[in-house]
Amino acid sequence: MIKKFVTKKSARFIVAIVFGLSLFALAQTSPAAGAPAAASTPDSPSTAAATVAKARANATKIGTIDIQSAIAASNEGRRDLEALNKKFEPKQNELKGLADEIDGLKKQLSAQQDKLNEESRDKLVKQIEAKQKGLDRAAQDAQEDFQNQQGEIVNRIMAKLGPIITKYVVDNGYGLLLDTSQATSFPRGPVIMSGPALDITQPVVEAYNSQSGVAAPAAGSVAPKPAKPATSPASKPATTKPPASAPPKQ
How many domains does one find in the chain? Answer: 1
Report the candidate in 154, 222, 223 with the shortest Cα–Cα distance to residue 8: 154
Does residue 115 belong to any structural domain of this protein? yes
Q: In this predicted structure, what is the pLDDT of residue 30?
A: 35
More confident site: 46 or 162: 162
C-beta contacts of 232-236 below 8 A and 24+ residues apart = 232/95, 232/98, 232/99, 232/132, 232/135, 232/136, 232/138, 232/139, 233/99, 233/103, 235/132, 235/133, 235/136
Does residue 97 belong to any structural domain of this protein? yes
pLDDT tens for residues 192-238? 778 889 999 999 999 999 999 999 887 655 555 444 444 454 455 55
Q: In this predicted structure, what is the pLDDT of residue 81?
A: 95
pLDDT tens for residues 64-88? 999 999 999 999 999 999 999 999 9
pLDDT tens for residues 19-34? 333 333 323 333 333 4
Q: In this predicted structure, what is the pLDDT of residue 201?
A: 96
Give the span between the Cα atoms of 57 and 51, in whole angstroms: 10
Does residue 88 belong to any structural domain of this protein? yes
pLDDT, mean of residues 103-118: 90
Is residue 180 classed exposed, middle or buried when 0-12, 13-18 and 19+ CB atoms within 10 A define those classes?
buried
Q: In this predicted structure, what is the pLDDT of residue 76?
A: 96
pLDDT, mean of residues 128-133: 96
Q: In this predicted structure, what is the pLDDT of residue 44?
A: 64
pTM above 0.85, yes or no: no
Cα atoms found within 13 Å of the Cα of residue 87, Cβ hemisphere only: 14
Does residue 230 belong to any structural domain of this protein? no
Q: How confident is the model at residue 190 (pLDDT cuts 50, 70, 90)?
A: confident
Please give the C-alpha separations between residue 89 and each of 139, 159, 220, 228, in angstroms, as whole numbers: 13, 28, 22, 10
Does residue 49 belong to any structural domain of this protein? no
More confident site: 12 or 200: 200
Does residue 35 belong to any structural domain of this protein? no
Cα atoms found within 13 Å of the Cα of residue 65, Cβ hemisphere only: 24
**3 pLDDT exceeds 90?**
no
Does residue 80 belong to any structural domain of this protein? yes
Please, what is the angle between helix 118-171 and helix 8-29, to 10°?
0
Does residue 33 belong to any structural domain of this protein? no
Q: In this predicted structure, what is the pLDDT of residue 241?
A: 47
Percent with pLDDT over 70 in the chain:
61
Domain interval for residue 152: 2-28+54-212
More confident site: 246 or 69: 69
